[in-house]
Amino acid sequence: MAIELDQVEYGTKSGYRMVLDSNNFSLSHALRYSLSNARHLMLYVQEGTPFVIDKIYILNVTSGTERLFSMMKPFMSTSLINKVIIKSVPKTNEFIKTLPQTIVPKDYGGLAPIMSETNEILKQKLLDNRDYFLDEEKLRNGNVKDEVDTTVGENDKDNINSFKNLSID
């Protein structure tokens, strides 16, 4: 929903760059993840996302993250594998220095608001647009009725013997 809101407000982009921090992700997390879940997640990422993924940066990679990535790799297309860039803990700081500091959160030494503040701003933005998302959901699920009356009256039924004879003005 956050990316959809971004597209509504600012228009579509040629691609999104995702940054994932795996700092608190351990090997025990990876062991709880089933192959079935990995396959479904990769299917969604490759076929179901309503936006183009340009790059996926995975920061602070630990052995658990590497294990999960190796589990998912068989379900990933070559183009998606080429978009994933893994940064180990020492390389993460070097990578963050290459980014514009105005977009890097203060948690990581940048000038942007801390992550919890950014999350609260996003949450409020989504709540402010709640009606839009509810209306969109109805539209996508087919719950919105057409305003045009398409029923055939009793008098018209006698005039229509088959679809071959049906004339549309």
Residues 94 and 105 occupy one common structural domain: no
Query: So what's the pLDDT on residue 151?
Result: 62
pLDDT in tens, 69-87: 888 899 999 999 999 999 9
Domain boundary among the residues 41, 63, 98 is at 98
Enumerate residues 6+ apart whose C-beta is below 8 A from 23.
59, 60, 62
Average pLDDT over residues 128-150: 79
What's the predicted TM-score (pTM) here?
0.74
Distance of CA 162 to the CA centre of its chain: 47
Return the bridge partners of 112, or none: 105
Within 13 Å of residue 58, how many CA atoms lie on the same side as its CB?
18
Q: Is the confidence at residue 150, as pLDDT, over 60?
A: no
Residues 34 and 86 occupy one common structural domain: yes
Q: Is residue 110 part of a domain?
A: yes
- Alpha carbon distance 46, 83 (integer Å): 11
pLDDT in tens, 26-52: 778 777 878 888 889 889 989 888 889
Residues 86 and 32 occupy one common structural domain: yes
Enumerate residues 6+ apart whose C-beta is below 8 A from 154.
none
Residues 57 and 70 occupy one common structural domain: yes
